[in-house]
Amino acid sequence: MNSILSLFIVLSALGEKPPGVDERVVFLGDSITHNGGYVAYIDAVIRLTGMEKTFELINMGLSSETASGLSEEDHPFPRPCVLERIDRVLKMMKPDTIVLCYGMNDGIYAPLDDERFKAYRKGINTIIRKADAAEAKVILLTPFPFDAVAAGKKGSLAKKGGEVPLGFKAIYPDYDKVLARYSKWILKQGERVSKVVDIRTPITDYLAEKRKEDPDFVLSGDGVHMNAEGQMLTGRVLLKAWDLPEEVVFPGGYYELVRKKMAAQRDGWLAHVGHKRPMKGTPPTLEEAFATAAELEDKINAKLAASSVPATP
């Protein structure tokens, strides 16, 4: 391992930004964020915009996670809660900004309930308070919408009088109304945080427009998790909210390499910071993850050079 990479790993393990990085942005969320498509899309666009300020985007989304600490009775394991790891994220990673997107799992796929809603608000409020204390800016995203059409095709909607309790296996058919209520509350938090971004409305509007021509059109295979198109749409919504170009021409294979690099870093950071979700296999160490990321960075720069696009320093 070369000395520059070793220094990079040491600095990162201490929570320091790499040389040349002005702002570290950490994305926290559930499986939709863990997928990483929208975070990688944002990163891929930013790298090609020629911005004076440089950003390090790190995906720390964790599948099954909530901000409320709640879980279904028949879930395979207690859902992890971001509150269990937020102190370590802030201390070990020292983000300048955290982007929060929770809600899909927090309603537990059941009708609106005052206690569940209260737990969700308490979780988000706790993260804001802790981020403020750590002098990290907060960007709040509304929850993603739930698509009952897609869930119905998948067969995951609860049946009236069914024996399976409400939850991710049997979702309340009007669950999107719960997420709409959660989103309405998120949108009122603008004065408390750096920015609030409504991702729910553009995605819902996009779905409605597409279904005028194709009633079976979906952005999710199960009504919960965004597919590739949904992930990239989310990225475009966020770029627009930040007054950045929504789309640029990517060299062939470029986005895929950026996504692989971010996934490698994500897996290393998740293991390094720690969490409560059971995972398959042995996670990479931070050193292994960064070595993989460095190899992919070389390929990314080679791809850009071959495409006459300036490589990042």
Would you state the structure tokens that stand for residue 123, as one six-digit string? 């979780």
Pairing outcome for strands 55-59 and 97-101: unpaired
Would you state the structure tokens that stand for residue 201, as one six-digit string? 């409305």
Nearest to 299 by CA among 248, 269, 265, 255: 255
Residue in this structure with the two tokens 């009007």, named with its chain if needed: 174
Q: Is 176 left (phi over 0), alpha (psi -120 to 50) or beta?
A: alpha
The per-residue pLDDT for 3 is 43
**Mean pLDDT in residue range 12-29:** 82
**What is the 8-class DSSP label of residue 23?**
E
Indicate the average pLDDT of the chain: 92
The per-residue pLDDT for 7 is 47
Q: Render pLDDT for 129-142 as a digit per residue (tens, 0 to 9).
A: 999 999 999 999 99
Cα 19 to Cα 5, 16, 91, distances in angstroms: 11, 9, 19
Residue in this structure with the two tokens 């897996």, named with its chain if needed: 267
Q: Render pLDDT for 124-179 as a digit per residue (tens, 0 to 9).
A: 999 999 999 999 999 999 999 999 999 999 999 998 766 678 899 999 999 999 99
Nearest to 109 by CA among 146, 152, 163: 146
The per-residue pLDDT for 1 is 46
Residues of the chain with pLDDT > 70, as a percent, come to 92
Q: Render pLDDT for 166-220 as a digit per residue (tens, 0 to 9).
A: 899 999 999 999 999 999 999 999 999 999 999 999 999 999 999 999 999 999 9
